[in-house]
Amino acid sequence: MTPYLAHIIRHPIKSHGREELASVVLSEGACLPWDRRWAVAHEAAKIDADAPEWVPCANFSRGAKAPSLMAIDARLDEERRTITLTHPGRAPITFRPDDATDTERFLDWVRPLCPADRAQPARIVSVPGRGMTDTDYPSVSLINLASNAVLGGAMGMKLSPYRWRGNLWLSDLAPWEEFDWIGKRLRIGGAILEVVEPIIRCKATSSNPETGVIDADTLTALRSLRGEQEFGVYARVISGGTIAAGDHLEVL
């Protein structure tokens, strides 16, 4: 088997939809372009509105606290800087995240998807030059489709890879092989990435990405199978270049 890149996924607004790409240009020291470009700060967030900086995910609306968000799909028009979101329980909406009036329309659209007893979505924020990843450094996340299949088999169900909100989905690997890469470099297409650390998973992964309904105890299954709640790995882009679905993966 020759490992390869099966899918490229970005999430323009953190925790609010995903979008598949055929190819993308990675840049040294940067996230996947437009990935987590925006995030939805809730009313209890501790963020300086005048000079926003990277802050931990606890400051944002996310699937771990609002499972229905997991069923959002997104389509970004980079030229117009507009996003179209769809959800099985809401009419589609197209808006500009950087426009205050449009932001209010979005907040009205998304509030019914958020539990009333949680801090409510309050505004959209962004940080110049980077995405609002869960890491305090610009990262790209990788998931192994074989690991996903093994976990689903242990749970007696088919798990959608969308549960993991990964950027690069990798195929034709041995299950859990990705954890052997920590500290190593990978070549995918024209780019080189350095694998930094495993991803510690949260309750967002228990929600069905088609419905936004909790239907799988992924965390208990991971602990039973692996002894920890790790799934997928974070990497840094060491050398930029174009990557495309179907590109081979090489461990350097």
User: Domain extents for the chain?
Assistant: 4-30+135-251, 39-125
Residue 13 burial (10 A CB sphere; 0-12, 13-18, 19+): buried
CA distances, 79 to each of 18, 74, 125, 167 (Å): 18, 15, 19, 22
Q: 3-state SS of the chain: helix, strand, coil percent to 5?
A: 20, 35, 45
Instruction: Return the pLDDT at 50.
Output: 75
Instruction: Return the pLDDT at 49.
Output: 73
Q: Which residue has tokens 């490992």?
A: 3
Instruction: Return the pLDDT at 51.
Output: 75
Order of strands, sheet of 82-87, starting from the edge strand that comes earlier in the sequence: 73-77, 82-87, 90-95
Neighbour tally for 79: CB within 10 Å:
6
d(CA 18, CA 25): 18
Instruction: Return the pLDDT at 101.
Output: 92
Query: Can you give the pLDDT of all 252 residues of the chain as single tens digits?
Result: 799 999 999 999 999 999 999 999 999 999 999 999 999 999 999 888 777 899 999 999 999 999 999 999 999 999 999 999 999 999 999 999 999 999 999 999 999 999 999 999 999 999 988 999 999 999 999 999 999 999 999 999 999 999 999 999 999 999 999 999 999 999 999 999 999 999 999 999 999 999 999 999 999 999 999 999 999 999 999 999 999 999 999 999
- Third-level CATH fold of 4-30+135-251: M1 Pyruvate Kinase; Domain 3 (2.40.33)
Neighbour tally for 113: CB within 10 Å:
20
Kindly state the tokens that stand for 30: 């940067």
Query: What value does the CA radius of gyration of the chain take, rounded to a whole number of Å?
Result: 18
